Amino acid sequence: MCLSVVFASVSFSTFISEYMGINVDDLYHDWVLTQTPRDSWTHTSILYLDDGVPFSISRKQTIGLYALAIKRLIAQGAEAVLFDGTLYEYNNITRIAECLNGAEIKWKNELDMRPLSILTQEELSRVLMPKPYNNVPLSVFVSPFIDFGFQRRYQYVDLSAAKMSESGTSSILRHQLLNKNSGATALADRISAVKHDDFSEGLFQCSTDSCIRVRQSKSLEEFQEPSSVLTLSEWSQCDALGKNVRLDGKAIILQFSNLTEPTDLHLTPLSHHFTDNKLISGAHFLADATETLIKKDMPIRPSWIVVFSVFGLVALVLAFAVLYGRIRFSLGILMAALVFNFVAPFITSLELWPFSLGVLIFLSVFAIGSTVAVYQNSKFIGVMKSYLPMEVQKQVMVGGNLGQYVNRKISAVVLLSDLRAYTEISEKLENPQILFKFLNYYFKSVTGIVQNEFSGWLESYSGDQITFYWPILDENETETVELVEQAANHLEREFDNIFNKLLLEIKSSYVGLGSDSLAQIRGKIGAGVGISYGEVFIGHLGKNSGVMKFGIIGSPINDASRIESLSKVFSSDVFATEDFVSLMLSQERWLPLIRLRLKGWQNPKWVFIHKRHDAPANERDIWLNAIKSIQDSGTLDKPITNLLSYTVRDAEVLLDWYNKGFWSEDEECWRLSQKV
């Protein structure tokens, strides 16, 4: 069992680690990445809008300056330039800067409103940009003679810097979306022989796309490499570039904002990490993502085999530690695992999910310990489940208080069912296995009806007798009484089906029982139901005697048993005491049978039978006149024919009782000293 629990725990932990993200873990890895930043970019640079560009010029008007810078960057060996801006269709109102004379602006010819017209088609093929506003064709920005085929083949890039949450807001987590058009992927493909497919070992699902965890770099002000940070004012001078800066094989990201500004034109700005209030630009983040892809120094999720092995080893050690009571040892293992997972991201690229792993290990220990406790007490728990009635179990689970049902005096309705001709049947079923199968099938069928469908509380199985009860509360008296009546009616209708199926079970299991014997059993077998009402005591029985039982004691159980025995001589199957019938809102569904005084009863009570649904309206009067004639003279004034609820057999029983002296004229009732 221990190994089963370990396997289940490890499988669950692996599933959580492989297919689900937990923000606390993500934040921890973000923090680790910012604690071990890179201090230079090998493959990328940023060109930004610096203070050397006059403040009077708008970002939109600087497009011409960036176009000149692109031309010069490519001339200095840049492999690709990412244009961080959304192009609009320009008109003859907007002035476009052509270049800078020191701090002075030289404006483009107003008749030529194509800001990228200075770029050749070959240079333009190295420019990556987001799709222009309103999908305006490239010819609007470059040249009306641009090759149509080139224009159709041009691949625009996706400059979403971070993964988007379901609400549509940018997440602070260091996740770079990766699809075929994402900026980092496009740049990495352009400047490296390593293609996108080779990045797969560091990828994981991020919404509908793939992601990487981006390794951070220091702030741009701290960069020592001059070619990593370039200024627009220097690269857009009308004169030739003043110095020779080689950018061979590099990708340049154009940032349309100052380094100190929190926003830029297109890319989403992000906090440097979740413990800092400094913002970095989207261009900065994209450069980090590109470097991460090429260098493959991002945190990488280990394969499921590694995860399963690590989790399994820890869980297995903890399992045996718990099993053998080595609590201190298990706590030591737990702490060591936590420390390892805190330190691991600093010394290895493998993500082992430190926080969640600690929680999962703790849950594993708890689960194993709980399983051991359950295993050690399984027999006792099984006994408790069979000890408490199902309805009590439900109410205790909801209310959590068994005390409300212990050592109390309550009113209750008792329903008892007993097999007829059980002694004769048991003699024919000589095989004890078949006899118990016979009884258990009967008990199971009756219990399934009364307990599961009508909320009866199972009191006991005793021999061939089964007893249920329903506690009566002021607020549920009418509802409960109606429920008991429905249960009795349902049983009366189902008895034939139950016994037919029961005999089929016996026939298939007991080959030695012949058809004649089965026919004899079917002719004799039957069941009666007795219903009574009164006060009972509820609580634990035999608490200190080794076999404990939860149930009720009181005269209603005896009363139900006594009146149920009337089914052996009378033609009805269901009998109820006057006390029960008096609780009914409508008593028309019940007919009086006899006024009876049983042993232990202080006063006589009427016993009722259930009225057939299509019985004639005068049936009650016919029967009362018949029993009055028997009680007065021991004879019938007129022969009684079979009615629907009463039969000739019922009258014959009373005539026989009269002859045996069971009628008490003084008390005006039938007196029985024992069960029929």
Q: What is the pLDDT of residues 212-233, one digit of tens each?
A: 777 778 877 777 677 889 999 9
Q: What is the mean pLDDT of residues 576-599?
A: 88
Question: What are the pLDDT digits (tens) for 103-151?
Answer: 899 988 766 678 888 888 889 889 988 888 777 777 777 777 777 777 7
pLDDT for the residue 321: 65
Across 14-28, 303-317, 360-374, 412-426, the highest mean pLDDT is recorded for 412-426
Q: Nearest to residue 576, comparing CAs of 532, 613, 535?
A: 532
pLDDT for the residue 493: 87
Per the listing, tokens 């008990």 go with: 443
Residue 274, both tokens: 């979740």
**Structural contact between residues 312 and 10, judged by C-beta atoms closer than 8 angstroms:** yes
**Structural contact between residues 300 and 204, judged by C-beta atoms closer than 8 angstroms:** no
DSSP for 537-574, written as a single string = EEEEESTTSSS-EEEEESHHHHHHHHHHGGGGTSS-SE
**Burial bucket for residue 125 (CB in 10 Å: 0-12, 13-18, 19+):** middle
- Alpha-carbon dihedral of residues 143, 145, 147, 153, nearest 10 degrees? 40
Question: What are the pLDDT digits (tens) for 517-527?
Answer: 777 777 778 88
In the chain, the percentage of residues whose pLDDT exceeds 70 is 67
Residue 376, both tokens: 């050690």
Q: How high does pLDDT run on average in the chain?
A: 76
Per the listing, tokens 């903890």 go with: 318
**At 415, is the secondary structure helix, strand, or coil?**
strand
pLDDT for the residue 525: 83
- The whole-angstrom separation of Cα 94 and Cα 63 is 11
Question: What are the pLDDT digits (tens) for 624-671?
Answer: 888 888 888 888 877 766 666 777 888 889 999 999 999 998 888 998
**Burial bucket for residue 633 (CB in 10 Å: 0-12, 13-18, 19+):** exposed
**Structural contact between residues 87 and 129, judged by C-beta atoms closer than 8 angstroms:** yes
pLDDT for the residue 166: 45
DSSP 182: B
Least confidently predicted of 303-307, 330-334, 376-380, 486-490 = 376-380
Which carries the bigger pLDDT value, residue 512 or residue 458? Answer: 458
pLDDT for the residue 384: 54
3-state helix, strand, coil in the chain (%, to 5): 45, 20, 35
- The whole-angstrom separation of Cα 201 and Cα 208 is 18
Residue 45 has a CB neighbour count (10 Å cut-off) of 22
Beta bridge partners of 222: none
Q: What is the mean pLDDT of residues 384-400?
A: 59
- The whole-angstrom separation of Cα 388 and Cα 549 is 8
Which phi and psi (to 5°) does residue 514 adopt?
A: -75, 170
pLDDT for the residue 99: 93
pLDDT for the residue 270: 52
Residue 9 has pLDDT above 60, yes or no: no
**At 532, is the secondary structure helix, strand, or coil?**
strand
Farthest-apart Cα atoms in the chain, separation: 141
Which phi and psi (to 5°) does residue 82 adopt?
A: -100, 120
pLDDT for the residue 174: 53
Q: What is the mean pLDDT of residues 72-86?
A: 88
pLDDT for the residue 65: 93
pLDDT for the residue 165: 45
pLDDT for the residue 172: 44
pLDDT for the residue 529: 93
Q: What is the mean pLDDT of residues 379-387?
A: 53
Residue 512 has pLDDT above 70, yes or no: no
**Structural contact between residues 543 and 567, judged by C-beta atoms closer than 8 angstroms:** no
**At 383, is the secondary structure helix, strand, or coil?**
helix
Band of residue 272 on the pLDDT scale cut at 50, 70, 90: very low
DSSP 111: T
User: How many CA atoms lie less than 13 Å away from 660 in the CB half-sphere?
Assistant: 11
- The whole-angstrom separation of Cα 186 and Cα 253 is 12
Least confidently predicted of 231-240, 414-423, 463-472, 632-641 = 632-641
**Parallel, antiparallel, or unpaired: how do β-strands 44-48 and 229-231 relate?**
parallel
- The whole-angstrom separation of Cα 392 and Cα 493 is 28
pLDDT for the residue 96: 87
Q: Nearest to residue 83, comparing CAs of 255, 229, 235, 249?
A: 255
pLDDT for the residue 76: 92
Least confidently predicted of 419-423, 510-514, 609-613 = 510-514
Which phi and psi (to 5°) does residue 602 adopt?
A: -75, -35
- The whole-angstrom separation of Cα 302 and Cα 179 is 22
pLDDT for the residue 294: 84
Cα 4 to the chain's mean position, in Å?
A: 22
Which carries the bigger pLDDT value, residue 272 or residue 514? Answer: 514
Band of residue 238 on the pLDDT scale cut at 50, 70, 90: very high
In the chain, the percentage of residues whose pLDDT exceeds 90 is 17
Residue 549 has pLDDT above 50, yes or no: yes
Which carries the bigger pLDDT value, residue 536 or residue 297? Answer: 536
CB under 8 Å to 155, separation ≥6 — which residues? Answer: 128, 181, 186
Global model pTM greater than 0.85: no
Residue 267, both tokens: 């890319």
Beta bridge partners of 270: 280
Residue 73 has pLDDT above 90, yes or no: yes
- The whole-angstrom separation of Cα 327 and Cα 460 is 44
Residue 171 has pLDDT above 50, yes or no: no
Per the listing, tokens 């260091």 go with: 174
Across 196-205, 468-477, 529-538, 542-551, the highest mean pLDDT is recorded for 529-538
